[in-house]
Structure 1
Amino acid sequence: MSKPIFTQSVCAIAVAAALASPLALAQQQSQEENQKKGLERIEVTARKTAESIQEVPVAVTSVGEVELAEKGISSVVEIQQMSPNTTLQKSRGTNSTLTAFIRGVGQEDPLWGYEPGVGIYVDDVYMARPQGAVLDILNVERIEVLRGPQGTLYGKNTIGGAVKYVTKTMSGDTELAVKGTVGSYGQKDIKLSGQLPLVQDKLYFGFAYANLNRDGFGEFLTSALPNQDKENYNKDLQAYRLTLEYHASDDVFMRLNYDNTEDKSNSKGGYRLLPSLLTDAPVPDSKYDSYTSLPTWNKVENEGVSLTINWDVNDNFLFKSITSKRESYSPTNIDFDNTSLRIFDVPAIYDDEQFTQEFQLNYVDDGIKVVSGLYYFKGDSCGQYDAILDVLGNALGFDGYTSEVGGCSNSKSIAAYVQGSFDLTDKLSLTAGARYTKEEKDATVYNGVYFGTMYPQSGWVDGFVRDQALVDATNHVVLDNNADWSRFTPKLGVEYQYSPDMMLYASYAQGFKSGAFNPRATTDEPAADPEIVDSFEVGMKSDWNDTVRFNATLFMLDHKDRQYVTLIPDPDDLTINNQRLGNVGKSEATGAEVELTVLATDDLEWYANLGYIDAKFSEVKSVTPDGQPLDITDQFSITNTPKTTASLGFNYNFSSEMGDFVWNTNYYYRSKYSLVEKGNLLTQEGYGLVNMSLNWYSEDGQWSVGLHGKNLTDKEYLVGNYPFVNVAAPYSTDNPGPGTGGDTTLIGYYGDPRTVSLTVGYRF
């Protein structure tokens, strides 16, 4: 592994110089240069129609193609630095599973059957599962982050917000571009994109391809299996996208998209925060080193096809159809205990399919805009995991111990929605909308115990052959149930155009997260009902003299019927308690968000954002062993949600005889946050990241070079965890005892260390 060498003092000097120099340069600008170009108009589709971001009464951040490239942003998770009160992280155990939280609402457990709280969309196609949702930047036009419930226009599972990944449309010209990147830890990336007119002014073909490779930030120090790739936190990914665009007439446009991603990066090993009680392996020196007794390989396959048809019926009506089908398959190895023994190993398979169809009919006239539609979703989410606890089995006198759990959660939903904005006067307008959703879900869960070592498939490890007959004999169906729900989610807002450059707005919105069956059920239990979020928001969008953009939002939300596993008495025998999934929690949050852009000169732009949120549980219910109500609210905390997020940075443009340069630097801060929802044992203290980029463009616009430094002060910060320890007396949170598997399993996963990369691009 190669790693750039910087000292903390050098980084500190560089950061200070970077932040001070643009101010000095700005002060040297002459009176002639005070004539500004004006702020950029940013178009978004937050309300499913193209509008200026300053006209949309929604808290939305948009990051465009040029900004992504100039900041060296290579993955959707880096967008969290641009959007206040937003968390986008690579999950524990893999490089491709997304942990997304907005305003304290998200999904902590990515197991099949559970639903997300933040919706992920690729060209308006919903991605139902977090596996494979860590999207790399490929042929992208912009990424939008919508904060707050989006239940009217986007439907279920957007109670925290939505992240929209919008790819580029074609210009119609013949184009070819190639980018190559080299960097820290052996990074070697290649990206190729282009387009070709097949029929002039009618039919275009586009393509994009990426091959992304990087050595690990650390390594697996030991493995019980021979001939394993020992790299940890590495990257080995290929992705491509094919597009056909057909302009049938001036009024009809069709686009067929196909995308495919194969990520063969190793499973991600965690860092043991406590010494093992059952092995003599020390806690590793590096946060990126680990131990494992599983294979280190991992795979995520994700592909989808979509067809979009736009028809401008006349000057007032636009019809749109979006048809899509997506599939993902992910066999993965997660060593929960991160030792060379099979203490708590979980090889697993995730297998998902979905089909969606959306019809939109939009209307625009003087003083009125209406978006309406019908939506259909069918999704099959299946999986299987083998919890291997051989050390426990050996202690009980068996050859090993494996608990296998599997099943499917299948859902169908149909929805109708309408939302309109109406001008009441030349300054005052009203927004009103509603969505009705009808959903059906059925689930099957089976589990069983095998007194030996079992893996999901033959060949999972060298020489292993799965005895399916034995598995069938020991596994049995414990849940086979179905449920249906219907939900009406309204939105109501008012907007006041105080001046041509300032809009004030207030809104109420509601969203819901789908009901769910317990994917780890031990009995044929009923489903948990949907979660509901009610949100109130007031905000301002303003531009001042076309040089200062100041947008601010105040919000509060009430999150009801939160789904958690808790102890619930057996209805047939109140002396027996089972772990069941139920609606046992409530939480609330209040907060503020500010986004600021200052065009100091034609060449210097400052930007900042600030998010503050006070989020907490107000009620979590359980029961005592004898069936009496029990309040356990004080045991719960909102995870992945710092009270404060902030970013400050600049872009500075300057020219020379060699070409044009763009220099940008930003500082991103997150205050402390919890990583464990119940009985939190891990808190990441506040930290800041410094990033810097210098970009060069040739005079003919064909060549570009970008030098990008990320996390220049090499901060270490937690982004995920596995806590399996015992804190009940005689133990405590300061001195935990053994948990599942008989070991002190407290595992941390960390964000990327300092990296430096150089990208060279050429457009033919």
Structure 2
Amino acid sequence: MFRKIIMPFSGARSLLPLALGYSLITGAQADGLALEEILVTAEKRESSLQDTPISLLAFSNERLERFGITDLADVAGLAPNVTITPFPNSRSSLVVFMRGVGNNDSQTTQDPAVGVYIDGVYVARSVGLSSDVADLERIEVLRGPQGTLYGRNTTGGAINLITAKPSDEFGFSQKVGAGNRGFWQSLTKIESGKIGPVAGKLSYLKSGHDGWVENTGEGGNFGEERKEAGRVALRWDVSDSITVDYAYDFSEIEGPQHYYQKTVTLDPVLSTLFQLDSPASEGRQSKASWWRKADPSRTEISGHSLTVTWDTAIGQLKSITGYRELEESITQDYGAGDKFFEANVDIEQDQFSQEIQLVGDAGESWRYVAGLYYFEEESYEAEFNRGIGLVPGSYEPNEDRQIASEAEASAVYGQVTWSPEALAHRLDVTLGGRYTVDKRAATKDSSIYFSNGEQSGSDEWSNFNPSLTLDYAWTDQLSTFAKVVTAYKAGGYNVRSTEEGFQPPFDEENMTSYELGIKSSWLDNRMTLNAAVFHAEYEDLQTQQITDNSTIFLTDVYNVGEAEIDGFEMDLMAVLARGLTLQISYGYTDADFIEYLDQRETVASPIPGQNMANPDFGKNVADRTEMPYAPEHNYTVGLEYQRPLSGGNIQGGAMLTASVDYAWTDERYGTAFNDDMEGFKMDDYGIVNARLALSDIAVGEGDLEIAVWGRNLDDEEYKVHAISLGLYRSAIFGEPRSYGLDLKLSF
């Protein structure tokens, strides 16, 4: 069954309508008013996006290159019901939530709830997710649990980063860009073309920019960074039925962290007593300093992948082997200019994975996917923190810890789709299941907070995740689907815990989601309207609880209870006139805890660093909680206009493209439960972006593109992360207005 129905996408950060997986086609149809079909591999096989019964967004190669989307952080805001923000310790780590489900911590022993994959290889750690990928071809965002085909740690959803494969033809392109605050970028791509049975591709990306908070002290500006990324890809056509793909990639980031500025002083008397003198400001500061030099942080990531594809009589057999490693050294100061609290963290991690897939068909009525999966990783993490002591004016070590950990997972999965001939293959009934076994071991050594010295533990979890999907094509332009899907996130150990919180380990969490969706195309494919409504039941949630805001480096993780999530997503795209496209996307999430058991035995006393008995211990405090990173409403509106300047055809001659978009996000919280919830609140905000480009300019044998762009054009001040630190609240603000010019020459 193949239905050519095109699904509109959602956008926010870059130029929305153009950053989507759509483009106008005038050469394909006489009136030039149609939307292009997109192919995806979300279900492990290539299919039309509209034939895939998933709330799925896809961002195509042309749009990724055009708007400089080189990492996952660039996708922030491009999809409704998806939030991507930096983690406070490290800007290379991303906090990713979908439909109110995610993980707002970054540890080597605690897994994310949204799975990220590069060419089918699972990326276990959130550290480095903002690193550049030098040559992305497509990004697919799968919203909702994906436990059957993607497995553990996809209770929120999955994101596929798909890189460009080598071409059979020689090619070369060079892009350079410059902008305000010292922004510059260079992207080089070289295609060898096919030499015998082998083709290769080399991509190299380098960029940099100044920070938007000027450092009036020692060191670079806050948020300043230099990035470098490269990728080598080789494709060997062994025979007509066997293909081997190998790739090596690396990425590096260097520069001072973002600046946490003091927004509110909670207790002026104690702040004065402990000599915290830096002023608080609810508005974004343009100048600031740490009490000492702002040392740069560094992140280095690399990986190898080997994919062997064999077309057999029973289907396509694929082997995906991956190895990745990362190193990061972080220096972050939360003192807002005062000697209050700073963190110094070093992380090392390496992982190996092996997956075997079989994807095939049995006539027109049956399709199947089956697989075996194995994963293992080793991690090392060291942290040294300093903060205020009980004696006013003192600043002393308050935690050091070293963590060594190992994890191992194995799974078997399968999915079969029946499309009965009696209904003209318009109905698809898909049944799937996955069985997973997880093992984890961790050792923590802290000489300051752990009086017993070293603590260690190991445990094992297993889970079976079934799924059922019904998909019916009422016409070639209208289809609906209904699905029940499950997923789970593995248990683990909290290495940021208090002495009592390390053992026992926290348990797995589970998600069951019920979803109804519609995908439709109207007016000869001049308008597309897609929507989904969902209800999710969330059990045994893993949440972090801070016992004392003045010691935020200590958190305990508990399986606190249950939550229910209801929501709605709608995407509309319409061709209003020749070359003029309107896009509207909207997401709604109503996420609430039903049960949240306060498991803190002690809470902070009025004196920083001191605790007292918790009167709410063991009680259900759901009425005082918020599902983190779950804005109730978010929407985007965008307009794109394309006009050929020569040739009389929208695909021939030079092309002028103009676009503008507006994206709005509701208020949200950065934690589930805290005695100072307002300290973790981020207000609603809206962003305006625009771009003007002249492309397909003939230069000899090549094509030139010139583009000017602007982001956050009204210079909106908005918080991307906020925390409470006992005596005051602190926050990072988003990037101010930025603008620049790009030039790209391709042969």
TM over 0.5: yes
Count of aligned positions: 675
Distance in 2 (alpha carbons) for counterparts of 1:663 and 1:567:
48
| Corresponding residue number in structure 1 for 2:34 | 38
SS of corresponding position for 1:232:
coil
> 1:138-162: CA deviations, max 9, x gaps?
3111111100001110011111011
| Corresponding residue number in structure 1 for 2:345 | 348
Q: Choose 282-291 or 421-430, whichever is displaced more.
A: 282-291
| Corresponding residue number in structure 1 for 2:237 | 247
Answer yes or no: is the 8 Å Cα contact 2:667–2:681 preserved in 1: yes
Q: TM-score, normalised by structure 2?
A: 0.86
> 1:333-392: CA deviations, max 9, x gaps?
111222242x21111112111110000011123122111100101012321111212x31
| Corresponding residue number in structure 2 for 1:573 | none
| Corresponding residue number in structure 1 for 2:717 | 716
- Alpha-carbon spacing, 1:159–1:211, altered in 2? closer, same or farther (3 Å): same
Q: Are 1:562 and 2:541 counterparts?
A: yes
- Alpha-carbon spacing, 1:418–1:290, altered in 2? closer, same or farther (3 Å): farther
| Corresponding residue number in structure 2 for 1:204 | 199
| Corresponding residue number in structure 2 for 1:543 | 521
Q: 2:476 aligns with which of 500, 515, 519?
A: 500
Distance in 2 (alpha carbons) for counterparts of 1:627 and 1:599:
57
Distance in 2 (alpha carbons) for counterparts of 1:137 and 1:258:
11
What is the CA distance between 1:759 and its match in structure 2?
Answer: 0.5
* Matched letter for residue 347 of structure 2: Y
| Corresponding residue number in structure 2 for 1:219 | 214
Q: 1:678 aligns with which of 673, 681, 698?
A: 673
Answer yes or no: is the 8 Å Cα contact 2:201–2:234 preserved in 1: yes
Answer yes or no: is the 8 Å Cα contact 1:220–1:269 preserved in 2: no
Answer yes or no: is the 8 Å Cα contact 1:78–1:88 preserved in 2: no
Q: Which runs of 5+ in 2 are unaligned?
A: 1-14, 17-25, 266-270, 548-553, 602-612, 647-652
- Alpha-carbon spacing, 1:112–1:292, altered in 2? closer, same or farther (3 Å): farther
What is the CA distance between 1:628 and its match in structure 2?
Answer: 6.3
What is the CA distance between 1:114 and its match in structure 2?
Answer: 1.5
Distance in 1 (alpha carbons) for counterparts of 2:333 and 2:445:
22
SS of corresponding position for 1:206:
strand
What is the CA distance between 1:510 and its match in structure 2?
Answer: 0.5
Q: Are 1:696 and 2:694 counterparts?
A: yes
What is the CA distance between 1:234 and its match in structure 2?
Answer: 1.3
| Corresponding residue number in structure 2 for 1:260 | 250
Distance in 1 (alpha carbons) for counterparts of 2:483 and 2:93:
33
Matches within 5 A, 1:474-485: 477-485=453-461
What is the CA distance between 1:479 and its match in structure 2?
Answer: 2.2
Q: 2:163 aligns with which of 167, 189, 192?
A: 167
SS of corresponding position for 2:155:
coil
- Alpha-carbon spacing, 1:196–1:584, altered in 2? closer, same or farther (3 Å): same
* Matched letter for residue 291 of structure 1: S
Matches within 5 A, 1:94-493: 94-136=90-132, 138-197=134-193, 199-200=195-196, 202-222=197-217, 228-275=218-265, 277=272, 278-283=275-280, 286-293=284-291, 295-314=294-313, 316-341=314-339, 343-364=340-361, 365-389=363-387, 391-392=388-389, 394-395=391-392, 400-424=396-420, 425-426=423-424, 427-449=426-448, 477-493=453-469
Q: 1:531 aligns with which of 503, 509, 512?
A: 509
* Matched letter for residue 719 of structure 1: V
SS of corresponding position for 1:61:
strand
Answer yes or no: is the 8 Å Cα contact 2:586–2:634 preserved in 1: yes
Answer yes or no: is the 8 Å Cα contact 1:265–1:299 preserved in 2: yes
What is the CA distance between 1:641 and its match in structure 2?
Answer: 1.6
- Alpha-carbon spacing, 1:76–1:401, altered in 2? closer, same or farther (3 Å): closer
> 1:135-190: CA deviations, max 9, x gaps?
43531111111000011100111110111111112221111111000001010111
> 1:73-124: CA deviations, max 9, x gaps?
4543332433110111233243311111100011111132121011111111
Q: Are 1:646 and 2:629 counterparts?
A: no
SS of corresponding position for 2:64:
helix
| Corresponding residue number in structure 1 for 2:609 | none
Distance in 2 (alpha carbons) for counterparts of 1:565 and 1:690:
34
- Alpha-carbon spacing, 1:542–1:671, altered in 2? closer, same or farther (3 Å): same
Distance in 2 (alpha carbons) for counterparts of 1:627 and 1:714:
43
Distance in 2 (alpha carbons) for counterparts of 1:566 and 1:763:
52
Matches within 5 A, 1:543-622: 543-544=521-522, 545-565=524-544, 581-622=557-598
> 1:615-640: CA deviations, max 9, x gaps?
11111113565996322223321122
SS of corresponding position for 1:92:
coil
Q: Which runs of 5+ in 1 are unaligned?
A: 1-17, 20-29, 223-227, 451-473, 569-577, 726-737, 739-743
SS of corresponding position for 2:75:
helix
- Alpha-carbon spacing, 1:69–1:593, altered in 2? closer, same or farther (3 Å): same
Distance in 2 (alpha carbons) for counterparts of 1:709 and 1:115:
36
| Corresponding residue number in structure 2 for 1:517 | 493
Distance in 1 (alpha carbons) for counterparts of 2:96 and 2:133:
17
Answer yes or no: is the 8 Å Cα contact 1:416–1:437 preserved in 2: yes
What is the CA distance between 1:505 and its match in structure 2?
Answer: 0.5
Answer yes or no: is the 8 Å Cα contact 1:36–1:547 preserved in 2: no
> 1:259-310: CA deviations, max 9, x gaps?
1111012122211113554233333674354432454210001111110111
Distance in 2 (alpha carbons) for counterparts of 1:82 and 1:652:
19
Q: TM-score, normalised by structure 1?
A: 0.84
Output the aligned Cα RMSD. Answer: 2.5
